[in-house]
Amino acid sequence: MGSSGMDILLFFTIYSFLGWMLESGFACIVHGKFINRGFLAGFFCPLYGFSAVLVLLSSEWTSSVFGSSPAAVLISILMATMLVTGLEYLTGFLLEKIFHCKWWDYSNKTANLRGYICLEYSVLWGLLAFVLLQYVHPVISSRVFLIPAEVKAYLVIAFVVYFFADAVKSVGDALNLMEVILNYANIPVIKYRENVLKYKRFFLAFPRLMVLNAGIINRDVRSILNERLNKIKIELKNRFL
């Protein structure tokens, strides 16, 4: 790959954005509306960025050991699949440990492991790794390598500062939300509803969170969000009709 540290950070940023586009685009098609599918507030999914970097580094290693033969490509894809699947498992495990709930759950999928990973998505990671290495990255890297080193340095600094600020805010918001949900019995209904609406982007990005407190009178997250949506529709209808 012949990439410097700055190149790798730029690749991480680019593929975090492309991953967010992939996830959010799919969600828009399925639900018929825009949904920010990232954990961060901005338009990035770091899991895709980390996964892409792992794929690129593993490909570089296999190429140095096995050359550019078809067998090397196959080994690279298999390694990438295992690494990305392992990263997804680790991410799901840590999120559950930190926030005391699963942010996604593959328990209903075939050949899953504790609901964090499953065979279906591992195969998908492998296909995405193949497309990345064979078609996407050659185009992206050719453009990144043309950027002057000084410009790269400014871009990297800006992105690092941004990711740090967004991560701190998003983690803080998620912790506040989980404290409200898990301790709902000690929180007034009005305050509970305010927090659900304040952090609704998490529920839209990770529908698994909606099952928490589901069915409890005045505490059902899905009902609160739907009620808010219905109020907005009524207000718009009254305004323009």
Instruction: Give the Cα separation of 238 and 84 in Å (integer).
Output: 50
Q: What is the pLDDT confidence band of residue 232, given thresholds at 50, 70 and 90?
A: very low
Per-residue pLDDT reduced to its tens digit, 171-195: 999 888 888 877 877 888 888 888 8
> Which pLDDT score, from 0 to 100, does residue 194 have?
86
| pTM attached to this predicted model | 0.82
Q: Which helix (H) or strand (E) holds 14?
A: helix 5-31
What is the number of helices (H) and of strands (E) in the chain? 9, 2
> Which pLDDT score, from 0 to 100, does residue 21 have?
93
Per-residue pLDDT reduced to its tens digit, 79-127: 989 999 999 999 999 988 888 778 888 988 989 999 999 999 999 999 9
pLDDT at 56 over 60: yes
Instruction: Give the Cα separation of 197 and 119 in Å (integer).
Output: 35
